[in-house]
Homo-oligomer: A and B are copies of this chain.
């Protein structure tokens, strides 16, 4: 039995401005390149896909960007989210460390994804857009955009990777309950999808293919734009609300982190919890260690190359410089579907290159064991993605124990596991194994990276 300590902010304390780390970077982000000309893209190049407000956020170097009041109003449905001190976990680990976690699973979609889905839907609505297209794997992002579309009155079409569409019907049911249209990808609705199916009618799909399909539809129609749930600068900007709230909550606890831990797939929840703390350090404040935890089976930060690459398989997206396993790399089928992406957010990648963050990779079985340990003492069952952050935090707490250091650890519990019970069923049955990728496949994917002249 553990004493629970919750740090709750009044809803008037929902941040009024997002934090933009681009204002504080010691070195600017490498430019995004047009795949045809290899020249930096301008706002006009992105206009077919995104409304101008989001494009401006993508390139802004203003430190603070106002959160529109209608967006804050909807945030009040679940924000500010609670921050807890994990006293029971501390006792179990017998660590001198203090462990805090921010819990984003209280959102109606069960994860942090609505933090960006709502503003993206808002800016598109303001720009007169009638429909958004997107892709989703397991469905966390697709269901969050469907939720946002329902509340904002904007149609949502989701291309879901076929293997997930077939095997995990429950996130699809959530998307459809919110009124979104969900299409198995590759589909017959796009040129790219038809081309893929012509080669292989039974293709199981991939996130890269689904992105290509969603982008193709959005690029064709004036009333339709595209939305992405991670990777891009404006998405990471929107997630900064997580870290900004956590800062205020830690002050309530009279604490400041020595270590900040988040799991990384595309990078958005990690950026959300960590960027405000990194920024405070860059502006002369205390500099906590920042630890990105990724799956060993899809290790873009620890095994990928920092290079220009495409975000999608159809090579319709611009080229961004990022840690990548190659756009043809197919991650093995581990359960943390939200972490199965070949690339990493350019901003997160850049910070890694600048030595401002660390990265570590863990296997899925040890991450599930950590999640179960957490659930049994703290009471919340984490999503498989979040189990990576739990594992990272536990390892830091055990290091503190070995070193006899009473450090303060903060991690982001980015979602609950209620949609992921098949994974826990498999874990309990001993059927869960560590997945590995083929080294030669990784080498081949990396050798296929586009060749880009170094910018001057």
Binding site for B on A (CB under 8 A): 1-6, 8, 10-11, 70, 73-74, 76-77, 84, 88, 106, 108, 110, 125, 147, 150-153, 169-174, 176-179, 372, 375-381, 416-419, 421-422, 424-425, 428
A74 to B226 alpha-carbon distance, docked (Å): 43
Contacts of A169 in B (CB 8 A): 421, 425
A46 to chain B, nearest CB (A): 25
A5 to B428 alpha-carbon distance, docked (Å): 41
A1 to B73 alpha-carbon distance, docked (Å): 10
Question: CB distance B418 to A4 under 8 Å?
Answer: no
22 A-B contact pairs sorted by A residue (CB < 8 Å): A1-B74, A1-B153, A3-B73, A4-B73, A4-B77, A6-B76, A88-B151, A108-B380, A108-B381, A150-B375, A150-B376, A173-B424, A173-B425, A174-B381, A176-B428, A177-B372, A177-B424, A178-B375, A179-B376, A416-B418, A418-B418, A418-B419
A73 to chain B, nearest CB (A): 5
Given known contacts A108-B380, A178-B375, A151 and B76 CB-to-CB distance under 8 angstroms: no
Question: CB distance A424 to B174 under 8 Å?
Answer: yes
Contacts of A8 in B (CB 8 A): 8, 10-11
Most buried by B among A70, A76, A377, A421: A421
- 9 shortest A-B CB distances, which residue pairs? A170-B421, A418-B418, A173-B425, A173-B421, A150-B376, A173-B424, A108-B379, A4-B76, A4-B77
Question: CB distance A152 to B1 under 8 Å?
Answer: yes
Question: CB distance B6 to A11 under 8 Å?
Answer: yes
Pick the contact of A6: B70, B77, B88, B171 (CB < 8 A): B77
How many monomers of this chain does the complex have?
2
Contacts of A421 in B (CB 8 A): 169-171, 173-174, 419
Given known contacts A150-B379, A379-B147, A381-B174, A76 and B424 CB-to-CB distance under 8 angstroms: no
Contacts of A380 in B (CB 8 A): 77, 108
Q: For residue A428, which residue of chain B has the nearest CB?
A: B176
Pick the contact of A70: B1, B178, B424, B428 (CB < 8 A): B1
Contacts of A417 in B (CB 8 A): 177
Contacts of A74 in B (CB 8 A): 1, 4, 379
A356 to chain B, nearest CB (A): 34
A151 to B4 alpha-carbon distance, docked (Å): 10
A1 to B151 alpha-carbon distance, docked (Å): 5
A87 to chain B, nearest CB (A): 10
A70 to B447 alpha-carbon distance, docked (Å): 59
Question: CB distance B173 to A77 under 8 Å?
Answer: no
A177 to B174 alpha-carbon distance, docked (Å): 24
A379 to chain B, nearest CB (A): 5
Contacts of A424 in B (CB 8 A): 173-174, 176-177
Most buried by B among A11, A172, A179, A381: A381
A363 to B428 alpha-carbon distance, docked (Å): 37
Pick the contact of A84: B77, B147, B381, B422 (CB < 8 A): B77
A202 to B170 alpha-carbon distance, docked (Å): 29
A271 to B76 alpha-carbon distance, docked (Å): 28
A453 to chain B, nearest CB (A): 46
Contacts of A419 in B (CB 8 A): 418, 421
A108 to B88 alpha-carbon distance, docked (Å): 15
Q: For residue A176, which residue of chain B has the nearest CB?
A: B428
Contacts of A2 in B (CB 8 A): 151
A84 to B110 alpha-carbon distance, docked (Å): 18
List 12 extra interface pairs beyond A174-B381, A179-B376, CB under 8 A.
Answer: A1-B125, A6-B76, A8-B10, A74-B379, A108-B381, A108-B416, A150-B379, A151-B379, A173-B421, A173-B428, A176-B424, A419-B421
Question: CB distance A375 to B177 under 8 Å?
Answer: yes
A376 to B148 alpha-carbon distance, docked (Å): 9
Contacts of A422 in B (CB 8 A): 170, 173
Q: For residue A71, which residue of chain B has the nearest CB?
A: B1
Contacts of A178 in B (CB 8 A): 375-376, 381
Q: For residue A107, which residue of chain B has the nearest CB?
A: B379
Contacts of A176 in B (CB 8 A): 424, 428
Contacts of A177 in B (CB 8 A): 372, 375-376, 381, 417, 424, 428
